[in-house]
């Protein structure tokens, strides 16, 4: 049983915090836009004239060596690993909002460097910097959204990650399509110039957003935390002071209990007691990004489609991103009231395994390149729809729910870092499989990811509990009491009930104090 329905005030009553979260989630636009553009550059003559070589066999007369192809994509992952590891050190003293500001500055510098340089070393350094900024964006923006959203809206609202990531991919792929025929450096410089826009907007927006009340409570700033929660909830409780006080007390009691259990460094605490279970499941959920084969599609999508025989690879990349956005929007609607996180992730990876298998079969059995290319594209589009909507978007609220407030940044950061180690490995090795000068597997590489998705489904089935509708403090209680995965939906939590009792006492005590003071003034 989740918390009582009085705090389930619906979408209309919470429009203010939803808009705030939509704005903060804009950080993920950079991630989607950047990966879409850099993947398309590898099929642009204007880019290949600077960083590639002439190839009479290639359709466009130019190609790129395996080394630069590996490094410019994988260095993004190296930078992201560095970024997420630095988030722990940053979060010790500074809040989520300041972390997003740092990411905005780094993103500006990285974009300028990639536009201005014509040397591979400059391009590589720019890729590392944009990766560091992505690490800060992914960690701090998504943690902030997860911590400020009401429990009953957390799944759909944190899924804004997928909306902005897919929107960024669409715009990035469209920008590439418009400039792909330019024969000068402007072919890739124009799409890169757009990277200046989002950090400017987001940096200004974050000034007006309150800090996470949970972060403030962890750092002992109780009054600021109360003011922050009041701003975030606005009029969603229709001036019901009791419900606001109840949510605040529940947060406060939960964090106080966490702080009482501190037993050394946060890294050690992640792997002690009941936190060990939470950390391992959280890491598994985050690693599902890499195990899905996503980097084959977003890191090398346009080049991959070109090599697989798709007639219009740039248009195919745009269509792929549109299907990804459609998947996220479908998932948000379904996850609000109809399906749970667990089912969504299982469905997402099961569908991904099926369509990756279809891609592999299509690339293996057809002697007709045109028919094979169409079949590969159809499976790739359906893969991105299913994965992006039902697993990719939902995995972020799930991962944030699995870590407690004190350990959330370091758990998400370390898990993301490990994920990007595997993403780097994927980015680094994929060219060997798909490049015509190497193994030249083409679409047959999808067999690997079909198996990987099947393994992920098995892991999620046995270990991932259903947490939809639970407050973060109730999830703490479930794990502390070592509740079995199957019992999560039906288990009766008492944390919200005790918080409600304490909230009533606090309000009554405050009212009594005001009455006594009034009597003294009158007398």
Same domain membership, residue 318 and residue 216: yes
What DSSP string describes 197-243? HHHHHHHHHHTTSPPPHHHHHHTT-HHHHHHHHHHHHTTTTTT-HHH
Residues 314-372: pLDDT tens digits?
777 778 788 888 888 888 888 777 888 899 999 999 999 999 998 888 877 766 767 77
Whole-number Å distance between alpha carbons of 224 and 448: 50
State whether 392 and 509 are in the same domain: no
* Measured distance CA(52)–CA(130) in Å, rounded: 22
pLDDT in tens, 476-488: 889 988 999 899 9
What residue has token string 């190839």?
Answer: 55
Indicate if 501 and 473 belong to the same structural domain. Answer: no
174 within some domain: yes
pLDDT category at 297 given cuts 50, 70, 90 is confident
Write phi, then psi, for 293 (nearest 5 degrees). Answer: 85, 15
Residue 10 within a domain? no
Calculate the alpha carbon distances from 442 to 301, 329, 359, 428, 510 in Å: 11, 31, 10, 16, 70
Tokens of 473: 């403090």
> Taking the model in full, what pTM does it have?
0.73
Task: Give yes or no for a contact between 423 and 77, defined as CB atoms under 8 angstroms apart.
Answer: yes
Give the pLDDT score at 516.
46
Closest CA to 363 of 383, 352, 353, 378: 378
- Compute the distance between CA of residue 38 and CA of residue 73 in angstroms, rounded to an integer: 7
Quick one: pLDDT at residue 6?
Answer: 66
User: How many whole angstroms separate alpha carbon 204 and alpha carbon 46?
Assistant: 34
pLDDT in tens, 221-245: 999 999 998 888 877 776 667 778 8
Residue 168 shares a structural domain with residue 78: yes
Q: Look over the chain and give the mean of its residue pLDDT values, rounded to a whole number.
A: 82
Same domain, residue pair 422 and 511: no
Residue 241 inside a domain? The answer is no
Torsion of CA 312, 387, 137, 430, to 10 degrees: -60
**Inter-CA distances, 413 with 165, 218, 402, Å:** 19, 18, 13
* Range picked from 67-81, 300-314, 441-455 for highest mean pLDDT: 441-455
Average pLDDT over every residue of 125-129: 90
270 within some domain: no
Name the residue with tokens 């002697």: 367
- Same domain (yes/no): 226, 314: yes
CB atoms within 10 A of CB 169: 31
Continuous H helices in 42-153:
45-51, 66-91, 96-116, 120-136, 142-148
Domain contains 51:
yes
Residue 429 belongs to domain with CATH number = 1.20.1250.20
473 and 513 housed in the same domain: no
Q: Do 453 and 519 lie in a common domain?
A: no
pLDDT band at 522, cuts 50/70/90? very low
Residues 197 and 231 in one domain: yes
Closest C-alpha to 243, from 4, 438, 489: 4
Radius of gyration of the chain from Cα atoms? 24
What pLDDT, on a 0 to 100 scale, did the predictor assign at position 308? 62
Domains in the chain, number: 2
Write the burial class of residue 239 (CB in 10 Å: 0-12 exposed, 13-18 middle, 19+ buried). exposed
Q: Are residues 506 and 441 in the same domain?
A: no
CB 150 within 8 A of CB 236: yes
- The answer to whether position 12 is within a domain reads no
Do both 400 and 515 map to the same domain? Answer: no
What is the structure's pLDDT at 461? 95
pLDDT grade for 517, boundaries at 50, 70 and 90: very low
Task: Name the strand (E) or helix (H) holding 63.
Answer: strand 62-63
**Residue 323: C-alpha distances to residues 297, 317, 372 (Å):** 13, 10, 20
Task: Say whether both 141 and 98 belong to one domain.
Answer: yes
Domain carrying residue 79 = 21-235+275-487
């Amino acid at each position: 049983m989740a918390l009582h329905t009085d705090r389930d005030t619906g979408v209309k009553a919470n429009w203010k915090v939803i808009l705030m979260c939509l704005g903060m989630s804009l950080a993920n636009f950079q991630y989607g836009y950047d990966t879409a553009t850099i993947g398309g550059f590898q099929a642009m003559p204007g880019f290949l004239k600077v960083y590639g070589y002439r190839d009479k066999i290639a359709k466009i007369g130019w190609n790129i060596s395996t080394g630069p192809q590996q490094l410019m994509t994988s260095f993004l992952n190296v930078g992201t690993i560095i970024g997420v590891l630095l988030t722990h050190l940053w979060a010790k003293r500074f809040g989520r909002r300041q972390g997003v500001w740092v990411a905005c500055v780094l993103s500006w510098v990285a974009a300028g460097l990639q536009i201005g340089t014509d040397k591979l070393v400059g391009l590589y350094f720019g890729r590392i910097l944009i990766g560091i900024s992505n690490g800060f964006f992914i960690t701090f923006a998504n943690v902030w959204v997860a911590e400020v959203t009401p429990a009953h809206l957390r799944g759909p609202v944190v899924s804004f990650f997928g909306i902005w990531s897919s929107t960024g991919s669409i715009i990035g792929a469209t920008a590439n399509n418009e400039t792909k025929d330019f024969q000068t450096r402007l072919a890739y410089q124009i799409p890169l110039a757009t990277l200046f826009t989002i950090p400017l907007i987001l940096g200004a927006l974050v000034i007006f957003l309150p800090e996470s009340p949970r972060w403030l409570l962890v750092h002992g700033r109780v009054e600021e935390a109360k003011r922050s929660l009041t701003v975030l909830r606005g009029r969603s409780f229709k001036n019901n002071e009791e419900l606001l006080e109840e949510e605040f007390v529940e947060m406060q009691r939960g964090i106080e209990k966490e702080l009482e259990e501190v037993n050394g460094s946060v890294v050690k605490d992640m792997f002690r007691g009941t936190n060990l279970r939470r950390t391992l499941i959280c890491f598994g959920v985050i690693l599902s990004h890499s195990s899905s084969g996503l980097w084959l599609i977003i890191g090398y999508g346009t080049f991959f489609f070109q090599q697989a025989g798709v007639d219009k690879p740039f248009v195919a990349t745009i269509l792929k991103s549109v299907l990804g956005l459609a998947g996220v929007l479908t998932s948000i609607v379904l996850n609000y009231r109809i399906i749970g996180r667990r089912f969504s992730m299982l469905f997402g990876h099961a569908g991904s395994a099926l369509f990756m298998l279809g891609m592999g079969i299509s690339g293996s059995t057809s002697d007709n390149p045109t028919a094979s290319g169409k079949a590969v594209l159809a499976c790739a589009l359906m893969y991105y729809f299913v994965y992006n909507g039902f697993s990719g978007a939902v995995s972020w609220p799930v991962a944030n729910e699995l870590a407690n407030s004190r350990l959330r940044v370091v758990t998400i950061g370390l898990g993301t870092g490990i994920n990007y180690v595997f993403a780097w490995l994927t980015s680094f090795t994929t060219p060997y499989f798909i490049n015509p000068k190497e193994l030249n597997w083409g679409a047959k590489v999808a067999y690997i990811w079909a198996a990987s998705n099947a393994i992920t489904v098995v892991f999620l089935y046995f270990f991932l509990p259903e947490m939809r509708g639970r407050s973060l403090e109730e999830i703490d209680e479930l794990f502390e009491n070592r509740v079995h995965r199957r019992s999560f939906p039906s288990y009766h939590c008492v944390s919200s009930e005790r918080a409600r009792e304490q909230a009533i006492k606090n309000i009554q005590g405050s009212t009594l104090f005001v009455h006594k003071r009034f009597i003294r003034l009158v007398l």
